[in-house]
Structure 1
């Protein structure tokens, strides 16, 4: 069984940013404070069951995955992981910038880049590689939970190598807003989310920081325990 606590390295917009407020309101949870947030009225008008629609991403907080959730490998400590995050952020690198849009991805709705950005793919790959020493070996149970028989060969290989199938060429940046939706439900919800997102007037988004999220146990939500600006 997956161990706890679990940690993840994510992108999260700054605590005071309009994008963070947008995500926290729609998920009903602020990962910076650990507090619940009232849903916007418009969400429940389009989807009276909005709490259920947003239940899956609420557990993780509004984020984009860079290094997927993991327990710590034997001998590794939270203090060491925090120090590694600071070291990683301190290495000068090109700062990716995306043109963010709200769209459907694999059946759920998320904030995604309008077009691929090579520097973002590189940042995600660097996170996967450099933090992998903190990840324990993949157990047979955790591997089976990913249903490897349903994955394409490359994703299956990545699952075995990195403990997560959606890395390297398979990485797709997304900040999730809903769980998976049937096609007939997706249209009105997508329209509502795009309209709300348009009010942010966010033409570009710099992926200029990493955040360390922690989940204490299986029932807990992830919360942010540290964040670092990336050195340019």
Structure 2
């Protein structure tokens, strides 16, 4: 399959949490399949509406946001660069994750000290920016519709995305932007389902190279394990 954009994500290891995320969003980016949707009653909105925005990306945490390849760079060169990078990186282990309401959407976020994870994310952004094609005027304008701060706009111009470096906040998105009351209601429904799945530490032991297909859905190209 030919991909229009690439990204570097964290995806949970196979298991109950990964299974929940794939079923909840309705897209498993690691298998490239649509699993049966979760049957959760009393949702505040239609499930399809709640998950429409994050669905195409799959259940993930972003390290290097989606980008087009720069002219002269190839997918194989990108794969080789990620393999070499990961061979020199140690596993990052943090406290467990928790369900959080981030303004008008829900996500899983890590608890405790996240400075090492943030530094790791910044290293990833820097290491692979040479593969990123510059943003077009259309792409810049689309991003600027979201009321960016001066710092975020500077990051957008430098790295192609406004929420990197000191603006980075690691999270696994579970919904699109919803009315706040509905977001609060959804959190109360998902919390008892997710809490038993969030007892273990967050272990980032691999980077996932993802590709965006013609259907605009992200798919796993390869999982690269970090050094122990």
TM-score of the pair, normalised by structure 2: 0.93
Q: Is the 8 A contact 1:53 1:178 kept in 2?
A: yes
- Out of 90-99 and 136-145, give the one that drifted further: 90-99
Q: 2:158 aligns with which of 157, 161, 172?
A: 161
Rate the CA distance shift 1:147–1:195 in 2: closer, same or farther, 3 A.
same
Runs (4+) off by over 2 Å = none
Does 2:37 align with 1:12?
no
CA distance in 1 between partners of 2:68 and 2:25 (Å): 24
What is the CA distance between 1:87 and its match in structure 2?
A: 1.0
Q: How does 1:20-99 map to 2 (within 5 A)?
A: 20-42=18-40, 44-47=41-44, 49-93=46-90, 95-99=92-96
* Unpaired runs of at least 5, structure 2: none
Matched residue, 1:121: 118
Rate the CA distance shift 1:46–1:167 in 2: closer, same or farther, 3 A.
same
Q: 1:225 aligns with which of 204, 211, 221?
A: 221
What is the CA distance between 1:154 and its match in structure 2?
A: 0.9
Q: Is the 8 A contact 1:31 1:223 kept in 2?
A: yes
Q: Is the 8 A contact 1:66 1:128 kept in 2?
A: yes
Q: Is the 8 A contact 1:148 1:156 kept in 2?
A: no
Q: How does 1:168-207 map to 2 (within 5 A)?
A: 168-207=165-204
Matched residue, 1:132: 129
Rate the CA distance shift 1:45–1:39 in 2: closer, same or farther, 3 A.
farther
Alignment length (residue pairs): 226
Q: CA RMSD in A?
A: 1.6
